[in-house]
Amino acid sequence: MIDLEVLRDCYTSTSSKIVMLVVDGLGGLAHPDTGLSELEQANIPNLDAMAGQSACGLTTPVLPGVTPGSGPGHLALFGYDPLKYMIGRGALEALGIEVDLQPGDVAARGNFCTVDSDGALVDRRAGRIPTELSAPLCERMDRIELEGVQVDVFSVQDYRFVLRLRGPGLSEAVSGTDPQVTGVPPLASEAQEPSAEKTAKLVNEFLRQAQKLLAEEERGNMVLLRGFAQLPNLPPMGEVYNLDPVGIAAYPMYRGLATVAGMNVIPTGRTFGDEVETLHKHFDDHDFFFIHYKPADAAGEDGDFEAKVKRLEELDPFIPRIRELNPDVFMVAGDHATPAIMAGHSWHPVPFMVHSKLTLGEGIPAFNERTCAQGSIGRIPATQIMLMALAHAGKLAKFGP
């Protein structure tokens, strides 16, 4: 995988504009009854026509066979080696509910749980108590005070919450407290390296106070913490690539990932239509636009083949609306495949196309897994599509004399 900083001297600022549309979970697999994938079955005339005028290929998100989560899937598209820059679970969970996460902050995923009078775990999810019950408990814990650090607790949903610690000298190298079985007490958090001892002490003090505050509750009378994580220290896209990059996404997690990559996030509405209008409104002001389409992934994760086909068909009419803007480079990519027949993310190479003045069209007849495999780009690591974008936009100067 390339380190995006290797070519730093070649990244050149110009007035040309790049739009990167990320269709979450874009790739799929053939339905056993028809032999056609979701993209092949979908009626997507605008995407198909654009493929004919583009250079096409397939991207490998991390490595062949490796199924990425949303974090590595997106970081790769932005050019960051996902094996080098990892976003831990706690940090990703925090980004997903739009918790402000600053460099140095430590975030953890929290669960309410039920313990008996000896402190042994009876239910690791506190009977899946609903948000109405858990949210007030989060507010109660939010008032916990620890020496030298700011403590914030954010309700996620049902029995889940996020703990954020903010202050100097914190470390993510502390162990989780979930023993994964009932009948034993929660574990104490332990430092995994000497510099994390302060954090482990703070976490255990937080747990001591939480247990006291929750003692009278019937179900949520204790908490478990895991996935302690800080933001990875990413070189900001804007600085590295000499770009003014912005992210437009209806879902918080993707706004968070854009922020982590150093993009500015433009507020938008709740639908992809809102995102496209936001793109129109701000198109003059920036030179790189990441715009995110979520619904296809959600349908794929549900294992609903027809719904995923429908979500792709609903995306299609927005393609001409984006092309109206005449971006110098318009790329359509996916962070990973989410084949409906697998009801989850997968490792399969993901269709990709890049449209610019320099791709006069290969005549690829449609935009899907099979046709893109015949495209001139071939199979490339997802980390390299930013190089393609910059090259086609005239923003990647010659390397070496």
Q: Which residue has the tokens 């889940």?
A: 160
Contacts to its own copies from residues 83-112, by CB under 8 A: 83, 86-89, 92-93
Q: Give the SS3 label for residue 393.
A: coil
Q: Which of residues 69-88 bind its own copies (CB under 8 A)?
A: 69-72, 82-83, 86-88
Q: Which of 66, 97, 133, 135 binds its own copies (CB under 8 A)?
A: 66
Give 302 or 314: the residue with its C-beta nearer to its own copies: 302
Candidate segments 125-133, 167-175, 204-212, 345-353, binder of its own copies by CB under 8 A: 345-353
- Of 122, 187, 325, 342, the residue at the interface with its own copies (CB under 8 A) is 342
How far apart, in whole angstroms, are the C-alpha atoms of residue 91 and residue 89?
Answer: 5
What is the residue whose two structure tokens read 């007030």? 136
- Least distance (Å) between residue 204 CB and its own copies: 24
Residue whose CB is less far from its own copies, 220 or 334: 334
**Least distance in angstroms from the C-beta of 269 to its own copies:** 26
Which of 398, 401, 400 lies closest to 390, judged by CA? Answer: 398
Please state, in angstroms and rounded to a whole number, the distance separating the CA atoms of residues 315 and 47: 9
Of residues 63 and 215, the one with the C-beta less far from its own copies = 63
The type of residue at 372 is: C
* Interface residue with its own copies, options 166, 310, 323, 379 (CB under 8 A): 379
Minimum CB–partner distance for residue 320 and its own copies (Å): 22
- Is 396 a binding residue for its own copies by CB under 8 A? The answer is yes
* Sequence-distant (≥ 6) Cβ neighbours of residue 164 within 8 angstroms: 94, 99, 101, 105, 106, 107, 151, 152, 153, 154
Starting at the earlier edge strand, list the strands of the sheet with 245-248.
264-265, 245-248, 288-293, 18-23, 329-333, 350-355, 55-60, 378-381
Name residues whose C-beta falls within 8 Å of residue 159's C-beta, 6 or more positions apart in sequence: 111, 112, 113, 125, 126, 127, 128, 129, 134, 220
Residue 283 interacting with its own copies (CB under 8 A): no
Structure tokens at 99: 């918790």
Size, binding site for its own copies by CB under 8 A = 60
Q: Does 35 engage in binding with its own copies (CB under 8 A)? A: yes
Q: Nearest CA to 92 among 108, 105, 76?
A: 108
Q: Which of residues 177-236 bind its own copies (CB under 8 A)?
A: 227
Q: In the bound complex, what is the minimum distance in angstroms from residue 162's beta carbon to its own copies?
A: 13
Distance CA 255, CA 261 (A): 10
> Is the CB of 186 or the CB of 375 nearer to its own copies?
375
Q: Which residues bind its own copies (CB under 8 A)?
A: 2, 6-7, 10, 29-30, 32, 35, 58, 62-72, 82-83, 86-89, 92-93, 227, 342, 344-349, 358, 360, 369-370, 373, 376-380, 384, 386-392, 396-401
